[in-house]
Chain A
Amino acid sequence: MTLCQLFLQPDAAYSCISELGELGIVQFRDLNPNVNSFQRKYVNEVRRCEEMERKLRFLETEIKKDELPIYDPEDNPDAPKPREMIDLEATFEKLDHELKEINTNADALLRNFNELTELKHNLTMTQGFFDDAEMAFTPAHNRNQRDSDDDQVQLLYEYSMISHNKLGFITGVVPRERMVAFERMLWRVCRGNVFLRQAEIPELIEDPVSGEKLHKTVFVVFFQGEQLKNRVQKICEGFRANIYPCPENPHERRELAMGVMTRLEDLTVVLSQTQDHRQRVLAATSRNLRTWQIKVKKIKAIYHTMNMFNNDVARKCLIAECWAPVSELDRIQLALRKGSEASGGGTVSSVLNRMVTREQPPTHHKLNKFTQGFQNLVDAYGVATYREINPMPFVLITFPFLFAVMFGDAGHGILVTIFALWMVLKERSLKDKWRNQEVWTIFFGGRYIILLMGIFSIYTGIIYNDVFSKSLNIFGSSWRVRFGDDTLAKHDSVILEPTPFNYTRSADYRQMFSGTPYPIGLDPVWQLADNKITYTNSVKMKFAIIIGITQMGFGLFLSLWNHLHFNHRHAIYLEFLPQIIFLACIFFYLIILIFYKWTSFDGSKATDAPSLLIHLINMILFSYKTDPPSAAVFYTGQKQFQTFLILLAVLCVPWMLLGKPVYRIIMNKRRANYSTVTNHAAGNDSDVEEQHQEEFHDPAEKRGVVLDADVRDTDTEDMLDDEHSHQQHHQHEVEMSEVWVEQGIHTIEYFLGCISHTASYLRLWALSLAHAQLSEVLWHMILHLGLSMNGYGGAIASFFVFMPWSSLTVFILLLMEGLSAFLHALRLHWVEFQSKFYKGEGYPFVPFSFRLLLDEAPVEA
């Protein structure tokens, strides 16, 4: 990784950046961090882009409102030239304007339409009222039927005759739910001096103002006098009833009604034509919408990047600073040349210039879709410091393996593998589906991790001999029942005898174990045993300890590799050696004891078999009793050897605590001595020695500025060892108290951590026990109920019992236990494994890449 300077011609800058964006391997630095975003050079262009995006969003909502499909382009279009931007702006402006016009027109037309509909209903209903009044008018003396309506109308007529005044009326339409309150208000305000008639409109009509469909009622209010008229009008306004004029003359009413009908027909035609026009415009837009969105995003990204550059007025060029991997410098040169040519050439092409700097470069790992998931797991804890060892290739295997040790069921493993295989094989089609569902994207992003977890789970399930809590007997068990029938009849349960030695001294003692273990995994006989858990606890705990100590030792050796890479010779002698000796003396010795116990003690010596835990404790406490046989020494010289180991281990503590600080003190003194001779080169003596190694590799590197870098890299295919960079370590004076404190913390952390982390690995045993027990409970309590019934009833019962069993298996055992084992395996890696060698203080390399930009854009729902 090297810091580069780019000198770009202002005309060529745009296309060069566009090419680099397509390439996606440089990370630009902001050279104007103190400048307000509104004062930057290309702020106008960015504004124009945002305006275009706004218009595109508006178009998108309109398209979505009409539920038209949006066509997705096959591959991403290139970033358009600066001239094209103006064309795009013009197109968007035109579309925007057109659509807005269509919308306003449609709204106005619709409102008109609704008002006319209401008027139409008004006229038809009031027609009814006035007809009733006329009907009652003629047969005034024929009052045999006493309808309340007729009474009302009769009263109305009589009243009008008496008062010799013409009654005024107001007709209108009001929402049905307000009708009762309206009536009551009228009655109260006008003190009962108005007369209201109403009729409901049977169908839903759209309210002209609010646009929603409501049930409405037509009413007519009769009153006398100006005052009442004002009051009624105010009440109508308050209840937002729409008042429509109604001519008294029936002839005029009929003419008005016909006029309204014709106008309604015309309006319907115009409305449908407006809708068609809108659909056509939107359909044409939807074909290009995504392409435009991508183009605008790219333009905006390019201008944002150009805002980060330094505009050198004197030399009439733009200066950019970027981080780039050394192995990619050729491709960058090529891209710059392409960009300069594309923008119309010019005699001077853009120049790339390498810089030397003390800053820590960003960390860049070359990844593919398989390793990306695992790298995310590692990076979640901390991004690797520049050039330190990346734990990812190791985590790639050990993480699924430790998960599988805790998950350990072949049946569940098969289910998980099938799910992961489906996701992996259908990658292409599933990639863009359900992008808003976070849970799904998490599962899909980790599909390779889940695939490996599933495959390893099948393997550990076979070794644990556990398929949905049942065991398989493929090779024949090594145990046989050789008790006499009378013994079996006398006792409720029997314990099979493993040893040939007749310790009971009875005549019919027989050995029941064949002496050869079951070839792959746990013997199937243990599935029927009441003491299965006791037996498997022992082997699972021992394995957990073995794998834990092995992984920690492996971590220590990775730290050795780090020290060798960075050439910290002193760290090897002062940190690595005490650490590994301590680990070896106590914990590798424990592993040796475990293997010794496995191979040397059999059933005949069962009562004397040493308890390794007691021995470990006694070893540290220097107590060697002979009381319980399990605590007595079991090989000659054990006491002396163990004492020696403990003393050696204890020695490591001050070795690590004091070693590095003392070394620092000596180094500081030496530096002080040399600087008095005023010899700078010799003053950095240690550093010069250490940098000798690099001179062999890369003489060009030592020169500060390299024009048109064409240094070939030696190791491009090796993703772990990129080229050596300069080192930025201890050129400066370090505060001594800081060193002491830091070293003290590291020492305590390591030595206490050794013991606590070893015990922490026992979670591998605990979780696998929990998983096995849960699985067995589900079988015995649920599935067994159905399977143990006979006949047709049993068949039906099995069918019904399968549903709860399978859903509990999926939700509790696969999802919950899976998540739990995932988490614990991850913790084991982050804390127990990585604390032995990983610093994780870097920052990630985020290149300027169009592909990244477009992938990360969230899809609007």
Chain B
Amino acid sequence: MEKFSISLIVFTVFWGLIGIVLPFLIPKGPHRRLIQTMLALTSACCWLFWLCFYLHQWKPLFGPQISSVDARALKVLWGQDL
């Protein structure tokens, strides 16, 4: 459960910094509003995208179906410890 939340916190903070904190630090100029909009939208879209894929894999309803040849290779290469 903790390892699950580590990634969640890291990425939320990362995109939060970019999308919420950074816009306040943009210097005054003709393009200030534009850059703020861009940062906020980018971080919102990218965070949402990452979140959906992360949550979908948290509690999978079924697992991957692998051919036994590949499975044996993976058993050797990756070991058996989760």
Residues of A within 8 A of B (CB): 366, 368, 371, 393-394, 396-398, 401, 405, 459-460, 463, 476-483, 485, 488-489, 491-498, 511-523, 525-526, 528-532, 535, 538-539, 542-543, 546-547, 550, 595, 598-603, 606, 609, 717-720
Interface of B is mostly: helix
In the complex, the answer to whether B52 meets A543 with C-beta atoms within 8 Å is: yes
Q: Across the interface, do B60 and A602 meet the contact criterion of CB distance under 8 Å?
A: yes
Q: Are A393 and B59 in contact (CB under 8 A)?
A: no
Contact indicator A530/B66 (Cβ below 8 Å): yes
- Is B55 within 8 A of A595, CB to CB? yes
B70 nearest CB neighbor, chain A only: A528
Given contacts A493-B65, A516-B4, A550-B48, contact A480 B34 (CB under 8 A): no
Contacts of A495 in B (CB 8 A): 62-66
Contact status A498-B62, CB under 8 Å: yes
Q: Which of B33, B37, B57, B72 has the most CB of A within 10 A?
A: B57
B67 contact set on A, CB distance < 8 A? 492-493, 528, 530
Given A397-B41, A460-B49, A720-B33, residue A483 in contact with residue B71 (CB < 8 A): yes
**Within B44-82, which residues are at the interface with A (CB < 8 Å)?**
45-46, 48-50, 52-68, 70-72, 74-75, 78-82
Q: List 8 A-B contacts (CB under 8 A).
A: A366-B30, A481-B72, A488-B75, A493-B66, A494-B65, A529-B65, A599-B55, A603-B63
Q: Bound state CA distance, A509 and B10, in angstroms?
A: 34
Find chain B residues with CB under 8 A from A521 CB: 50, 53
CB–CB B79/A531 < 8 A: no
Q: Are A546 and B34 in contact (CB under 8 A)?
A: no
Q: Report Cα–Cα, A555/B17, bound state, in Å.
A: 25
Which chain A residues border B60 with CB–CB below 8 Å? 498, 513, 535, 602-603
Q: Which residue of B lies closest to A497 (CB)?
A: B63
Q: How far is the CA of A601 from the CA of B55 in the complex (A)?
A: 11
Q: Which residue of chain A lies nearest to B29 when distances are taken between CB atoms in the complex?
A: A717
Residue of A nearest to B42 (CB): A397
- Known: A498-B63, A517-B54, A601-B59. Is A398-B38 also a contact (CB below 8 A)? no
Q: Is the CB of A398 within 8 A of B63?
A: no
What chain B residues lie within 8 Å of A546 (beta carbons)?
A: 48, 52
**B53 CB contacts on chain A under 8 angstroms:** 463, 521-522, 539, 543
Chain A residues whose CB sits within 8 angstroms of the CB of B3 once the complex forms:
515-516
Q: Are A494 and B68 CB-contacts (below 8 A) given A481-B80, A516-B4, A717-B30?
A: yes
Task: For the A-B complex with A393-B34, A463-B49, A494-B66 known, give 12 more contacts whose Cβ atoms are closer than 8 Å.
Answer: A479-B64, A493-B66, A495-B65, A516-B4, A517-B4, A526-B64, A531-B64, A550-B48, A598-B55, A606-B62, A717-B28, A717-B29
Query: Smallest distance from the beta carbon of B10 to chain A beta carbons, Å?
Result: 8
Chain B nearest CB from A174 CB (Å) reads: 77
Q: Is the Cβ of A599 less than 8 Å from the Cβ of B59?
A: yes
Task: Look across to chain B and name the residue whose beta carbon is closest to the beta carbon of A459.
Answer: B46
- Report yes or no: A603 in contact with B81, Cβ–Cβ below 8 A: no
| Complex-state Cα separation, A550 to B49, whole angstroms | 12
Given A538-B56, A542-B52, CB of A394 within 8 Å of CB of B70: no
| B8 CB, min distance to chain A CBs, angstroms | 10
Contact partner, A498, options B4, B7, B38, B61, Cβ 8 Å: B61
Are A479 and B52 touching (Cβ within 8 A)?
no
Structural contact, B80 and A482, CB atoms closer than 8 A: yes
Which 8 residue pairs of A and B lie closest in terms of their CB atoms, listed nearest first? A529-B64, A496-B63, A602-B59, A517-B57, A397-B41, A514-B82, A539-B56, A516-B3
Cβ–Cβ < 8 Å partners of B79 in chain A: 480
Contacts of B78 in A (CB 8 A): 476-477, 480-481
Residue of B nearest to A519 (CB): B7
Q: Which residues of B contact A460 (CB under 8 A)?
A: 49
CA distance A784 to B18 in the complex (A): 41
Cα distance A609–B46 when bound, in Å? 28
User: In the assembled complex, which residues on chain A have CB atoms less than 8 Å from the CB atom of B48?
Assistant: 546-547, 550
Given known pairs A494-B71, A515-B4, A516-B3, the reply for A371 and B34 (CB within 8 Å) is yes
How far in angstroms is the closest Cβ of chain A from B30?
5
Q: Known interface pairs A481-B71, A547-B48, A601-B59. Does A531 touch B42 (Cβ–Cβ under 8 Å)?
A: no
Complex: A491 Cα to B67 Cα, angstroms: 9
Q: In this complex, which of A397, A489, A492 has the most chain B Cβ atoms within 10 angstroms of its Cβ?
A: A397
Map CB proximity to A onto B15-39 as digits: 1 under 8 Å, 0 otherwise.
0000000000000111111100110
Contact: B63 with A513, CB < 8 Å? yes
Chain A proximity of B79: nearest CB distance (Å): 7
For B1, what are the chain A residues with a Cβ–Cβ distance below 8 Å? 515
Chain B, Cβ-Cβ closest to A718? B33
* B62 smallest CB distance to A (angstroms): 6
Q: How far is the CB of A13 from chain B (nearest CB, A)?
A: 33
Contact of A522 with B66 in the complex, beta carbons under 8 Å: no
Q: How far is the CA of A526 from the CA of B56 in the complex (A)?
A: 13
A528 touching B66 in the complex, CB below 8 Å, given contacts A481-B71, A521-B53, A718-B33: yes
In the complex, A602→B34 CA distance in Å? 43
* CB-CB nearest in chain B for A462: B50
Report the Cα distance A388→B52, complex, angstroms. 34
> Contacts of A609 on B, CB cut-off 8 Å?
61
Cβ B82 vs Cβ A542 within 8 A: no
- Determine how close the nearest CB of chain B comes to the CB of A492; give it in whole angstroms: 6
CA distance A517 to B57 in the complex (A): 5
Cβ of A539: which chain B residues have Cβ within 8 Å of it?
52-53, 56-57
B37 touches A535 (CB 8 A): no
What separation, in Å, do the CA atoms of A386 and B23 have in the docked complex? 28
- Contact across chains for B56 and A481 when beta carbons are under 8 A apart: no
Indicate whether A491 sits within 8 Å of B68 (C-beta atoms), given known contacts A394-B41, A719-B34: yes
**In angstroms, how far is the closest chain A Cβ from the Cβ of B73?**
9
Inter-chain CA distance A28–B2, complex, in Å, is 67
Q: Say whether B68 contacts A492, CB under 8 Å.
A: yes
Q: How far is the CA of A481 from the CA of B62 in the complex (A)?
A: 14
Residues of B within 8 A of A595 (CB): 55
B56 — which chain A residues lie within 8 A by C-beta? 538-539, 542, 598
Distance between Cα atoms of A40 and B71 in the complex (Å): 86
Hey, which chain A residues are within 8 Å of B72, CB to CB? 481, 485, 488
CB distance from B52 to the nearest CB of A (A): 4
Complex CA–CA separation, A541 to B63 (angstroms) = 19
Alpha-carbon separation in the docked complex, A512 to B62 (Å): 11
Query: Considering the chains assembled together, what is the distance between the CA atoms of A397 and B39 in angstroms?
Result: 9
* Chain A residues with CB below 8 A from B80, complex form: 480-482
* Distance between Cα atoms of A371 and B33 in the complex (Å): 13
Which of chain B's residues have a CB closer than 8 A to the CB of A488?
68, 71-72, 75
For residue B28, which residue of chain A has the nearest CB? A717
Q: How far is the CA of A493 from the CA of B80 in the complex (A)?
A: 18
Measured CA separation A720–B30 after assembly (Å): 11
A712, B82: Cα distance in complex, Å: 68
| A398→B49 contact, CB < 8 A | no
CA distance A20 to B43 in the complex (A): 43
CA–CA, A535 and B57, complex, Å: 10
Q: Which of A397, A482, A602 lies in contact with B45, CB distance below 8 A?
A: A397
Task: Looking at the assembled complex, report how far the CB atom of B38 sits from the nearest CB atom of chain A, in whole angstroms.
Answer: 6
Interface centre among A368, A397, A481, A602 (most CB of B within 10 A): A481
Quick check: B64 and A489 within 8 Å, CB to CB? no
Q: Which residues of A contact B34 (CB under 8 A)?
A: 371, 393, 396, 719
